[in-house]
Amino acid sequence: MAFELPTLPYAKSALGAKGMCEETLDLHHGKHHQAYVTALNGFVDKDPALQGKSLEDIVKATASAGGPVFNNAGQHWNHILFWQCLSPTGGKIPGALEKKITEDLGSVAAFKDAFKAAGISQFGSGWAWLVLAPDGKLKVTKTPNGSNPLATGEGKVLLAVDVWEHAYYLDFKNVRPNYLQNFLDVLANYEFAEAQLKAA
């Protein structure tokens, strides 16, 4: 079965008051993410070795070699997570997640500083992540382009933010730090992050 673009879990206009306008979501979900899905399906159609594999299996199998299959599979996987990491009621960190953040990263402020720094310091396109590392501790990390913690083995993703320019240019122009601060303060779906933590 071909891979499909997931439906957004909110209206495209729902995040406008939270710093992500409808046009951003139209382009980012409807064009950019769709293009990764279309390209990935094209590769799968042509390569019997990829057919019948899950998205996770394709990402892991192509991670060390890299290349266009990995790039598009990785971006599909990353964006599926990213849409769930945004919310019209975002920004509030629930108790169990806050406790874990404080234990492992020092404080909510320290977490936000580290996450923002990861996103700012990712030169060019990529992603910043909050993961539950294999040692059971939270960790902030970043990856270039279409890579992700599934490919690097850095742990289970709790929170993902896209720092490709297409994610923020209409809303924040060139000022990536403001996009990241806004994400952390009002847009991030920490309920999703906590659910990921509890399911780990």
- Contact between 83 and Mn ion (CB under 5 A)? no
Of 165, 160, 185, nearest in space to 175 by CA? 165
Q: How far is it, in rounded angstroms, from Cα 130 to Cα 184?
A: 11
Of 148-156, 158-166, 169-177, 179-187, the segment contacting Mn ion by CB under 5 A is: 158-166
Closer Cβ to Mn ion, 156 or 166, answer by number: 166
Q: E-strand spans in the chain?
A: 126-132, 138-144, 156-162
Query: Using the rule CB under 5 A, is 162 a contact of Mn ion?
Result: yes
User: Residues near 41 by Cβ (< 8 Å), separated by ≥ 6?
Assistant: 2, 3
161 contact partners, CB below 8 Å, separation of at least 6: 82, 85, 115, 119, 127, 128, 129, 167, 180, 183, 188
Asked if 142 contacts 122 with a C-beta cutoff of 8 angstroms, the reply is yes
Least distance in angstroms from the C-beta of 125 to Mn ion: 8
Smallest separation, CB 96 to Mn ion (Å): 29
Among 36, 115, 127, 164, binds Mn ion (CB under 5 A): 164
Which is nearer to Mn ion, 127 or 190 (by Cβ)? 127
Interacting residues with Mn ion between 17 and 76 (CB under 5 A)? none
Could you tell me the smallest distance in angstroms from the CB atom of residue 79 to Mn ion? 6
Q: Closest approach of Cβ 176 to Mn ion, in Å?
A: 13
Give me the least distance between CB of 43 and Mn ion, in Å please. 19
Q: Closest approach of Cβ 36 to Mn ion, in Å?
A: 8
Q: Which of 25, 28, 127, 144 lies closest to 78, judged by CA?
A: 127
Stretch of 11-19, 53-61, 91-99, 161-169 lying at the interface with Mn ion (CB under 5 A): 161-169
Residue 7 sits at φ, ψ, to 5 deg, of -75, 140
Residue nearest to Mn ion (CB): 162
Beta carbon nearer to Mn ion, 53 or 166: 166
Distance between start and end Cα atoms, the chain: 28
**115 is a site residue for Mn ion (CB under 5 A):** no
For Mn ion, the binding residues (CB under 5 A) are 162, 164
